[in-house]
Amino acid sequence: MPLTEFRDFVVELQKMYCIKNENYFDELAAFLADNDWFGVTVQWKDKNMYVNPTEFADIMPAIKRHFDMAFLSEDKQRERLEEMLAEKDNNTFEKLKKFYETFDIPDDTRLQLNEFIFRYLKVDVCFVTDAGLKELVDVVCEDIPKYVGDAFTMFLAWVKEHYSVCYVNDYMLTKRISREDENEAYEQEDYLQLLYYLYCPSYIDDRHMYQKAAQSKNYADTWLYLALHFICALRDTDLVRIPHPRLEREPEDILKDIKRGTFTDKEAVKVIYSIIYPLRNSPLKPNKTKRYSSVPYIKFDVPESCEVHIGMLFAIAEAHRIIAGVSDNEPLIRVIKSYREISKNMGDEIGMLFIESDFKARRMNKAYMQSIFELTDTVSQNGDEFSTKGYMMAAFARSHKGSFGEFAHTTYRYLKDANMSGLTPEYVAKELFERGVLSFIPSMLLKMITGGGYNRLTVQNQTRLIKELGMSPGEIETAVKVSDSAFRKSAETAADIYRNTDRETVINVLHRMGNGEAVSKMRECGCLYSAFGKLCPYDDNHNCMNCDYEISSKSTIFLMASEFNRLNGLYKSAESLNEKEKCESMIVNIVMPAMNEILTCAGETYGSEAAQMLGEIIKESTAGED
């Protein structure tokens, strides 16, 4: 049977089973990803995900059961989960029932404990060894609330008391707040030092770290795992769910180029995009809190300054994995925490940071989230607007060329100055740059508040990309007119905002855009209204594309490329002239102007070479669709 685009397959499922859940696609994708797709083969083509519908026949009962439970009350969920536990391992379930009869465990705790045991306990509890329990307890510490972990260790102790078991040790969770050194954020000095070792170009080049990573899988895996904690605050159980990147060449050739220093920036950026795009297309909820409907999806944004660096690390790690013959179903990210492993894999200079205590993801995530705030002590004197993302620290490190002492001193001074003087245009420009905000209005506003004229931002080379996508002269002319009109309208909006808003407010609005606080109804873009702290004026709209107040970013380009492919496919398969004209109109009037805006701003923000690279990625994303 031919492959079907996954999104189209989900639409058919919704029709077949009369499913009216608006978030069904995202929730189904997250459920399948959590379960390694149950062995279903997923193929990527032109940045779209394809599946064979016949492979879903055997797993439809599991899918149906999962979504049936989502609409049940907690009591019904608990009953259904107990039935599933009994089907999976009746011996453990019978022990669990007796345990519940002995102890008064709250209903919510019981539900979460059942879910944990069903998901992670692979054999009868009596047959689990201490080695197996150590892995389970590690998951408990990272992945579930402490009160559920306490119930689990109580269950283990009760089973050991009443049955013959294979494990010898007793297990008990200490209070997470009782050992300050082991649970509080890393000291800023330690945090900055590790950041310097893992990100600073001069340190990396002087020690030939990329070459060492290309030589050793353990070196590469350790470096990647530690480095990710400086651009996101994900738990280990979520880090291991980051999808595999796509390599365009043989892994051996990639490692050879890394060793020679000839691996290109463009190739590294493509590797990053091959990870980010699936995460945008099939977003995942945090493993620890996914059962709650209001929990936002996992955020994995790589700041602009770090794209090449992180892309290289992912490329090296993936190349090693393929060469080593590790299954595609195994996570790429390896959790490497002990002093012994880190020191052995990356050397004593880095390993010595953990000689007193192994690496703790919880402490690092706290340090990541607190990094800016602890350095600035208090927020800006002008109010509470000075907040920023932890990944800005990694961006600072990538642009630093000196010693660690100079790096630490410069970072402290820079952030202290920001605290004393409030937000500055320079800092806000850096935030917009690192977040990849590529939209006319913020670009124009930034020029205005720095005394520049927005007339310098011009739409250039508009027809080049459109021609290369195979559009007709008439379509090109229409798309250019729409782009020019959008540019003029953005200029009018920006000028109106600047005339009627004080400078400080404009800076704060731009800061919210760069800090990811200008949320919209779509994950891939921001909202000008939201940046001003206002609600969307279009209550009935569920789509932000083509809205006058939509703020594009590099993430939006993935959405536009996907829409181009989807609409072009519908255009080719449409039987009626009316349907063809509808698809053509959306491409010409919405998709192409949005792409042009992003590329124009990319040229202004990152330079012509970066804009050209982004344009090439767009063309490759839409390859074969002309």
pLDDT top residue among 48 and 594: 594
Query: Which pLDDT value is given to residue 571?
Result: 82
Whether the CB-CB separation of 626 and 618 falls below 8 Å is answered with: no
Query: Which pLDDT value is given to residue 256?
Result: 97
Name 223's Cβ contacts closer than 8 Å, sequence gap at least 6.
198, 209, 213, 313, 346
CB atoms under 10 Å from CB of 314, counted, come to: 26
pLDDT over 50 at 67, yes or no: yes
Q: What is the pLDDT of residues 116-147, one digit of tens each?
A: 888 788 889 999 998 888 888 877 776 677 78
Q: Where are the alpha helices (DSSP H) in 282-378?
A: 307-324, 339-346, 348-351, 361-376
Q: How many helices (H) and strands (E) does the chain have?
A: 32, 5
Whether the CB-CB separation of 127 and 220 falls below 8 Å is answered with: no
Q: Which two tokens stand for residue 384?
A: 């509470």
Q: Pick from 393, 435, 384, 398: which is nearest to 414 by CA?
A: 393
Q: In a 3-state reduction of DSSP, which class is residue 43? A: strand
Q: Which two tokens stand for residue 115?
A: 């879910």
Q: Pick from 298, 281, 289, 299: which is nearest to 28 by CA?
A: 281
- Rounded CA separation 517/526 (Å): 8
Q: What is the pLDDT of residues 447-487, one digit of tens each?
A: 665 555 433 434 444 444 445 555 556 665 666 666 666 66
Tell me the backbone φ, ψ of residue 437, rounded to 5 degrees. -75, 120
CA 621 to chain centre: 20
Angle 252-255-259 from CA coordinates, rounded to 5°: 140
Would you tell me the crossing angle of helices 391-398 and 188-199 to the nearest 10 degrees?
Answer: 50
In Å, what is the CA distance from 146 to each residue of 174, 177, 235, 367, 431? 9, 11, 15, 21, 36
CA 200 to chain centre: 23
Q: What is the pLDDT of residues 275-313, one digit of tens each?
A: 887 776 666 666 655 554 445 566 777 887 888 999 999
- Rounded CA separation 311/334 (Å): 17
Q: In a 3-state reduction of DSSP, which class is residue 51? A: strand
Q: What is the pLDDT of residues 73-112, one digit of tens each?
A: 667 777 777 888 888 888 998 999 999 999 888 877 888 8
Q: Which two tokens stand for residue 346?
A: 């990356």
